[in-house]
Amino acid sequence: MTASPQIDCRRARPADPVHRDRTSVVPNELLFREVNEQIYLMRGSVEADAELSIICECERRGCVKNLHITVEDYEAVRRFPTRFVIKPGHAGSEHERVVEAKSGFVVVEKAGPAARVAIRLDPRRRRSARGSSHS
């Protein structure tokens, strides 16, 4: 029997210097990207057109809106560590731009310092680094 992945929200929070830098990705976005990645990993084997129910990754504190996205669309977003899935109308920072709009969600891309933080704290990048260090 395999153990199900544990979601450790503390690990998704940025270090203090990033937290204080309001030009960077705010903790809400990083936390929910991490949670959504765990939802994605726990999905098991499903078809590309199957839907995931994820949480909005916007900058708004307290936003926990559910979004529905296909596995294929989710994977397309995650190819870019600077991109986040949000509810339509939740974009607005000068550090992000909408790069795609679909029915029920939009994809924003971070720029500048926010992009650098998003790349550094990308859960897939961390997972890949851990996997290569154990080889």
In tens, the pLDDT along 19-61 reads 444 444 667 899 999 999 999 998 877 788 899 999 999 988 8
What does the alpha-carbon distance between residue 3 and residue 20 come to, in Å, rounded to a whole number?
A: 36
Domain ranges of the chain: 22-126
Q: What is the pTM of this model?
A: 0.76
Helices (H), 2-70: 9-12, 16-20, 27-41
Q: Tell whether the model's pLDDT for residue 100 goes beyond 80.
A: yes
In tens, the pLDDT along 2-16 reads 444 444 444 444 443
